[in-house]
Amino acid sequence: MKEKLIVVGNGMSGLRVIEDLLEINKDKYDITIFGEEPYVNYNRIMLSYILSQEKTFEDTIINHESWYTQNNITLHKGDKVISIDKLNKTVTSQNGKVENYDKLLIATGSKPFIPQTVGSNLNNVIAFRNKADVDTIIKTIDKSKTAVVVGGGLLGLEAAYGIAMHGVKTILVHRSGSILSQQLDSTGGKLLQENLEKYGIEFKLNTTIKQINGISDVEEVEFSDGSSVESNIVVFATGIIPNKDLAIEAKLDTKKGIIVDDFMATSDKSIFAVGECVEHKGNTYGLVAPLYEQGKVLAKKLADVEVDGYSGSTLSTRLKISGVDLFSAGDYLGDETTEELILLDEKVGIYKKLVIYDNKIIGIVLYGDTADASWYLKLLKEHTDISDLRTKILFGKSALSGDSGHGGDDVNSMSDDEEVCGCNGVCKGDVVNAIKDKDLKSLSDVKSCTKAGASCGSCLGLVEQILVNTLGDEYNAVEEGICDCCDVGHKEIKECINENEFSDVYEVFEKLNWKTNDGCIKCRPAINYYLLVKYNDDKYKNDKRSALVNDRNYANIQKDGTYSVVPRIWGGLTSPQELKDIADIAVKYDVPTVKFTGGQRLDMLGVKKEQLAPMWKDLNDCGFVSGQAYAKGLRTVKTCVGSQWCRFGTQDSMAMGVKLEKLTWGSWTPHKYKIAVSGCPRNCAEATIKDFGVVAVDSGWEIHIAGNGGIKVRVTDLLCKVETDEELIEYTKAFMQFYREDAYYLERTAHWLERVGLEYVKKIMLDTQKREYYVLRFEESQKSAQVDPWAKAIEDGFTKEFSPIVIKPEESVSFEAKEIN
Amino acid sequence: MQNWIKITELENIPLMGARVIKYEDLEIAIFKTKDGSIYAINNICPHRQGKLSDGLVHEKVVTCPLHNTDVDMISGESIGEEYECTKTYELKIENSLVYLNLK
């Protein structure tokens, strides 16, 4: 007879206990879970990504309905437990359900703390705690020009960033003089603030909210510094309080939270508690890693497996804002008895501080470069004496081994007990053992089995490296499906397309047993791309219905559904007449915004879809072709003025830039592709963060590859040096074609290179025969590629669809239909 | 009360694509799916007001071009998300002409 286990709370910590328990003994309990929210178990940590629209709610679901079913777990969604009868061992829910238990687990998490302020009861004064909050924020800021976020802690910053990503002016109010004051010292806080200001967040420090004004909804916010702002929303991220209401009602021992022992038992030995709702040895925790550490202990306890008790956690944290690398742990402030080792480069935005006591690390602050976070944390946790490492320790682990590296962690040198995933407390050894013991073959298998990388996702690259190293040659044997429509990955799809003859995407679907008839937004554009690359435009007609919207409409869609139009400006060179023509056209179509792009071109923003075709026609008439600013293809070739004008220029970068752009425009690539040519090593065209960067030197040209100036800046790798223009052109052709054919769809050169390795690319590119092979294939493909898509779309009549059909009310007719479609 | 209006010839609705109908303040997208069926829905995505007519059509679903929200053309419901329903409209075809019920 199974025992009955009831879990109160369907959140991350409670469910982690159940997952761990099922791993150890899946037959011990009949499990019933009550959840207050009307959803399955989702990852609350990732709410900030939903708000910033970098992920969907679906991406945050940890366990789908099928998981509950497969494990015979009864889930009561949207039903809160309101009382516990300890004597009869029953719980009662809000919907009137009464259930017996043998063991009860309380995992009710925490409640947001909203300070009592005048007006804090108005509509749209909310917390940032659950999915409903995020939905409300998104809905409200649509109608608001300004949003106010209160609290400069982790949650507040993530909320402010997410809101600012919607283009809404965001004011963050924080009572102390430095943001993230619980995790960072003032130097780190200042660097972080400067970075976040770039996203449009305005900070009011040493300030609080005086009162919130409005009749029913928020209308205005007054601050303690005497200023005020019109706003429709106030988001409070001012801390959390352990949710101990149910425990109090049941007369369990509580203080700040529900009191538990080292085995997470409450004052009633049939009732356990875990997560943010508990207090252990006077501490409460609001980060996920400690909660999972508690969960591991409790799962073993519930399974009657011997386990050492929980002894508390060392807190470390990372900020989940794209492009902001921040890590802190331990006693990051120190005191008069401690020393500090500091590396600060404000210009580059790197700050590292180690707080040392008795030659041991007791606190860590890393900003801008967190690659060594897990290594420093290990030294901290193990109380390692760092006397011998002291002079080099701030330069990271690679500096000690003499390997300067090129970013990324060296997983080979990591010890098994070194932490990989801070969110879930998973060490390298856990991942390696799971891969070996459970025969895991894919990243998703590792994620779901070990939970490494399953929360904020910032360690996924590292997890994948461990997978690759552990599996060796086997790694490529199994690939994940590219979307839910199929079980096959890019590699297998490409092989299939290369080995067979297909005339459209549907034939590929049929051959590879697609689960859907038409594919989806992820797979159809990918298949269309692979077919285009194989056959070139002359043998396979680009299927516009399978292309992403920008590639289909030859313009960049903007947040309001209008488009941006960019004519090609070869090598960044233009003329007064061209500028005048563009200006005339911008005036003619009443273009609201004209902007110079980072790639030295003019962008006309706010163009209505029905204006696109006539505008293209006018631009064509003036000699312009599409700049493909929207395309998965060559965008731009940026140049400096080079030897033509610059006192320091050693080569004619402008002429070379124009030549390379005329060579490479028009063809499709897996992702956008940018080239730059600098006329001397001063590198004014910033060639070393481009997909293909050319830097002139006295003896010829340096060729750099796989740079990226995006969210995560990646500096290029040097491919080689060449002496002549002809050699440079040869490499330009060969590299572009190699990337076109070898990378996966939507894989930037930077990610492709990191996946396949620089040595692999060098091996092909520096081999004369192989290089010639790709040159020839490039030249062949370009024959049919260099057609202006604007002119072609007009010629094909595709743009008819761009014009709406306008029906006047007087054209309404009474109609009795005979045929129903 | 029905309010039928004549839209256009069926062939003017592109296969696996859409045409936009403007009627006073309304903007309605008429989609044609791979099997030739047509559907009329409000052109505005319930999530972030993207124009659905610019979305990718697959089976009876259109994916909003702004943030990839999937909207069911038959019911107007967003799939996998809990946004409000998009309004859908009845269509009829007679003599290759498409009629839309604005009720």
> From the centroid of its chain, how far is CA A593?
29
Distance CA B102, CA A179 (A): 54
pLDDT at A99: 95
pLDDT at A401: 52
pLDDT score at A473: 65
Beta-ladder partners of B75: none
DSSP A651: S
Query: What does A298-338 look like in DSSP terms, one character per residue?
Result: HHHHHTT---PPP-----EEE--BTTB-EEEEE-SS--TT-
Put simply, the chain B residues between 54 and 83 with a CB less than 8 A from any chain A CB are: 54-59, 63, 65-69, 80-82
pLDDT, tens digit, for every residue of A523-569?
A: 999 999 999 999 987 788 889 899 989 999 999 999 888 999 999 99
Asked if A809 lies within 8 A of B27 by C-beta distance, the reply is: no
Q: What pLDDT does A403 receive?
A: 38
ipTM score: 0.94
**pLDDT tens, residue by residue, A332-382:** 777 888 888 988 887 777 888 899 999 999 888 888 888 788 788 888 888
**What is the tens place of the pLDDT at every residue in B5-51?**
889 999 999 999 999 999 988 999 999 999 999 999 999 888 777 89
Mean of the pLDDT values across residues A408-434? 76
For position A145, what pLDDT does the model report? 81
Residues of A in contact with B60 (CB under 8 A): none
Chain A residues with at least one Cβ partner in B under 8 Å: 53, 56-58, 135, 138, 142, 516-521, 524-525, 545-546, 548-549, 552-553, 557, 559-561, 609, 800-801, 804-807, 809, 811-815, 817-821
Determine the Cα–Cα distance for residues A25 and A71; give it in Å rounded to an integer: 12
* Inter-chain CB proximity B56 and A814 less than 8 Å: no
Cα separation of A10 and A26, whole Å? 18
Contact A235, A153 (CB under 8 A): no
| pLDDT at residue A62 tops 50 | yes
CB B34 to CB A553 under 8 A? Answer: no
Q: Say if the Cβ atoms of A804 and B27 lie within 8 Å.
A: yes
Percent of chain A at pLDDT > 90 equals: 57
Of B6, B14, B15, the CB nearest to A811: B6
Q: So what's the pLDDT on residue A711?
A: 65
Two structure tokens written together for A105? 């687990």
Mind listing the pLDDT tens digit for each residue in A497-528? 999 999 999 999 999 999 999 999 999 999 99
Yes or no, beta carbons of A553 and B54 under 8 Å apart: yes
Tens-digit pLDDT profile for residues A264-313: 999 999 999 999 999 999 888 887 778 888 999 999 999 999 889 998 87
Q: What is the mean predicted confidence (pLDDT) over A613-623?
A: 96
Contact in structure between B22 and A805 (CB atoms under 8 Å) = yes
Q: Chain B: residue nearest A820 by CA? A: B92
Contact A655, A625 (CB under 8 A): no
Which chain B residues touch A553 with a CB distance below 8 Å? 54
In Å, how far are A11, A86, A530 from A98, measured between CA atoms?
21, 13, 57
Answer yes or no: is pLDDT of A781 > 70.
yes
Q: In 3-state terms, what secondary structure has residue A691?
A: coil
Cβ contact A547:A597 at 8 Å? no
- The beta-carbon neighbor of B5 closest among A58, A516, A811 is A811
Average confidence (pLDDT) over A407-421: 68
Question: Is pLDDT of A316 > 80?
Answer: no
Output the pLDDT for position B2: 65
pLDDT of A713 > 90? The answer is: no
| A370 within 8 A of A318, measured Cβ to Cβ | yes
Average pLDDT of the residues in A126-155: 88
Contact A677, A690 (CB under 8 A): no
Token reading at B51: 């124009």
Residue A821: the pLDDT is 42
> Span A431-451, mean pLDDT?
83
> What is the average per-residue pLDDT within B75-87?
82
**Whether pLDDT at A56 is above 90:** no
3-state SS track over A580-647: HHHHHHHHHCCCCEEEECCCCCEEEEEECHHHHHHHHHHHHHCCCCECCCCCCEEEEEEECCHHHHCC
- Arithmetic mean of pLDDT over chain A: 88
Cα–Cα–Cα angle for A545, B45, B64, rounded to 5 degrees: 30
Q: Does B21 touch chain A (CB under 8 A)?
A: yes
The fraction of chain B above a pLDDT of 70, given in percent, is 96
Considering A54-63, A111-120, A572-581, the range whose residues carry the highest mean pLDDT is A572-581
Residues A55-68, mean pLDDT to the nearest whole number: 83
CB contact under 8 A, B54 and A546: no
Among the partner-chain residues A525, A804, A815, the one whose CB lies closest to the CB of B99 is A815
Query: Strand order of the sheet with strand A74-76?
Result: A74-76, A29-34, A3-8, A103-106, A271-273
Cβ <8 Å between B22 and A57: no
Q: A819 pLDDT exceeds 50? A: no
Closest CA to B33 of B65, B56, B67: B56
B52 part of contact set with chain A, CB < 8 Å: no
> Which of B21, B38, B93 comes nearest A805 by C-beta?
B21
Q: Chain B partners of A136 at a C-beta cutoff of 8 Å?
A: none
- Nearest by CB to B19, from A57, A549, A805: name it: A805
What pTM, to 2 d.p., does this model score? Answer: 0.60
Q: What is the pLDDT of residues A392-405, one digit of tens each?
A: 888 887 666 543 33
